[in-house]
Amino acid sequence: MPALAVLTRAADPISRAGLDSYLRAAPGVTLVEDRPADRRCTVVQLAESISDELLCEARSLAFDPRIRQVLIVARIQKNELFDVAASGISHLLLRHEVTPARLLQAVHGAHSGSSSLPPGLLTQLLDQITRLQQGVEAAQACDQPLDERELAVLRLVAEGRDTAEISAALGYSERWVKSVLYRLTNRLNLRNRTHAVAYALRQGLL
């Protein structure tokens, strides 16, 4: 299996050097200076906080299907979570919680197409979206763009289940679960699983 290409970014050389030191010795990972043209690449961004420039860059990168994104951030506001989830960033890590093992897990997860938020932030994101939904007319949920199988999968994603756990819970293969998620995210032009859950909640479907 070829090594995973990883491009690191940080606001200053010292921070980037620290990030590189976490990944340089990791098995199955190769650090690159530019996005390769012929294979998938995971961009790992280290930032102090969420900025418009960061989100704009993330959205731009998300248009390239070969790019996966991991964000390590020191501070994040509750009202910024939805923007991060919708920007194409698939894995979010809090800087004070980062370890080499967690970072490597996020890189591999991003490469394989999964997504994750720290449990506390995922709860905050769901609460935020729920509040945004207050006052939305129930009729908006009547014309459902998702079928029952898709909703069943998304409910389990929202609970933090991974592909294997969803497969076991629903009695279908992992390939089927991945296929359902791929079709619905592609059909609705969503970035990843987290964005799909956010979309379903915004529509009042979950």
Q: 9-68: per-residue pLDDT in tens?
A: 998 999 999 999 989 888 889 999 888 878 899 999 999 999 999 999 999 998 888 999
- The pLDDT of residue 194 is 86
Cα Rg of the chain (Å, integer): 17
The tokens for 100 are 């080499």
Condensed to tens digits (0 to 9), the pLDDT of residues 95-123 reads 998 998 999 999 999 988 888 887 777 66
Structure tokens at 45: 């961004």
Does the pLDDT of residue 150 top 50, yes or no?
A: yes
pLDDT at 140 over 50: no
The span from the CA of 27 to the CA of 43, in Å, is: 17
The pLDDT-based confidence of 137 (bands split at 50, 70, 90) is: very low
Locate tokens 């029952």: which residue? 148
Fold match between domain 4-117 and domain 134-202:
no
Supply the pLDDT for residue 139.
Answer: 36
- Do 199 and 187 form a contact (C-beta atoms < 8 A)? no
Does 136 or 30 have the greater pLDDT score?
30
Single-letter code of the amino acid located at 11: A
Between 197 and 139, name the one with better pLDDT. 197
Between 55 and 79, name the one with better pLDDT: 55
60, 61, 64, 67 alpha-carbon torsion, rounded to 10°: -170
55 vs 145, which has greater pLDDT? 55
For residues 124 and 122, what is the distance between their CA atoms, to the nearest angstrom? 5
Q: Could you name the CATH architecture of 4-117?
A: 3-Layer(aba) Sandwich (3.40)
* pLDDT for 187: 82
Mean pLDDT of 81-91: 85
Q: How far apart, in whole angstroms, are the C-alpha atoms of residue 173 and residue 151?
A: 17
Check: CB of residue 88 under 8 Å from CB of residue 192.
yes
**Tokens at 2, concatenated:** 């070829």
**Helix or strand or coil: residue 42?**
strand
User: What is the predicted pLDDT for the residue at 130?
Assistant: 62
The answer to whether residue 77 scores a pLDDT higher than 80 is yes
Contact 181, 190 (CB under 8 A): no
CATH number of 134-202: 1.10.10.10
Task: Provide the pairing of β-strand 29-31 with 41-47.
Answer: unpaired
Domain boundaries, the chain: 4-117, 134-202
pLDDT score at 81: 82
Q: Are 101 and 120 in contact (CB under 8 A)?
A: no
Pairing of the two strands 4-10 and 91-94: unpaired
pLDDT at position 195 is 87
* Nearest of 109, 123, 48, 111 to residue 81 by alpha carbon: 123
- Distance from C-alpha of 129 to C-alpha of 187, rounded to nearest angstrom: 22
Band of residue 138 on the pLDDT scale cut at 50, 70, 90: very low
| Beta carbons within 8 Å of 46's beta carbon, 6+ residues apart | 8, 9, 10, 11, 15, 16, 19, 72, 73, 95
pLDDT of residue 48: 94
